[in-house]
Amino acid sequence: MFSKVIISDDFDSVNKSVLSIVNELKVKEVEQVQYCDDAYLKVKKALLDNNPFQLLVTDLSYKADHREQKFQSGEELIKALKQSDSSLKIIVYSVEDRPLKIRKLVQELNIDGYVNKGRRGLVELQDAIRKVAKNEKYVSPHLEGILKSNNKIEFTEYDSQLMGLLSKGYSQEEISAFFVEKNITPSSLSSIEKKLNKLKTEFKANNAVHLVSIVKDLGLI
């Protein structure tokens, strides 16, 4: 079993519920935070102190408040932590149930567990922690079919960046300039136009606005 765990959720009641589950599993050292930035800094400091956290349990959605944050979501936090501490196990505990979002987290970001908040959420979370501690993967049973589905749409990190900028009102010319500045390829205007046309076809979108709406609804941006 894990000996050092960090819990990150912006709702105090959820933090306490997860803490009770972790305590039942006799984890010796547990820390709780309500901001992604705090989770990141604590994980990094523990790593530098040669006393790393072994498991992070995090939500995906964090409500914005007066405090400015570098990481706006659990997904952004996971991406950053995976780059700096590959040994850290990560379990997502969230109400999110959109298939492509969950598939992306499991297959692309390589999280170790995904538990859907619900009536059996805390019971499943306890099962997930036990399994992940044994180097096994865990996904809430009623969501397992999502990962086995043959209905797969390829949506890369490049696509995510492209659609993210489009959703913020960037024109294709501005996206091209941004990609050139950030050394993201392909960056030519024609390449961006071709990619958007391909995505519109794959997602059966009538236009760019419709495409942004669909991708957002699927939880891909």
CB-side neighbour CA atoms (13 Å) of 97: 11
pTM equals 0.74
Three-state SS across 152-176?
Answer: CCCCCHHHHHHHHHHHCCCCHHHHH
For residue 149, what pLDDT is reported? 58
H-type alpha helices, 25-64: 36-48
For residue 203, what pLDDT is reported? 86
Task: Determine the Cα–Cα distance for residues 136 and 68; give it in Å rounded to an integer.
Answer: 36
Task: Determine the Cα–Cα distance for residues 118 and 95; give it in Å rounded to an integer.
Answer: 7
Residue 97 backbone phi and psi in degrees, to 5: -135, 20
144's CB contacts (< 8 A; 6+ apart) are none
**Number of C-beta neighbours around residue 115 at 10 A:** 25
Tell me, what amino acid is at 157?
E
Residue 148 backbone phi and psi in degrees, to 5: -95, -10
Task: Determine the Cα–Cα distance for residues 55 and 65; give it in Å rounded to an integer.
Answer: 26
Per DSSP, what are the bridge partners of residue 58? 8, 92
Of 139, 115, 144, the closest CA to residue 21 belongs to 115
For residue 97, what pLDDT is reported? 81
Task: Determine the Cα–Cα distance for residues 189 and 197; give it in Å rounded to an integer.
Answer: 12
Whether domain 4-148 has CATH 3.40.50.2300: yes
For residue 71, what pLDDT is reported? 92
Per-residue pLDDT of the chain (221 residues; tens, 9 = 90+): 999 999 999 998 898 999 999 999 999 999 999 999 999 999 999 999 999 999 999 999 898 888 888 998 999 999 999 888 778 999 999 998 887 788 888 888 999 999 999 889 999 999 999 999 999 999 998 887 766 655 566 788 889 889 999 999 999 999 999 999 999 999 999 999 999 999 999 888 999 999 999 888 777 77
67's CB contacts (< 8 A; 6+ apart) are 35
Of 8, 6, 118, 4, the closest CA to residue 59 belongs to 8
Q: Tokens 């939500």 — which residue?
A: 59
Task: Determine the Cα–Cα distance for residues 165 and 201; give it in Å rounded to an integer.
Answer: 19
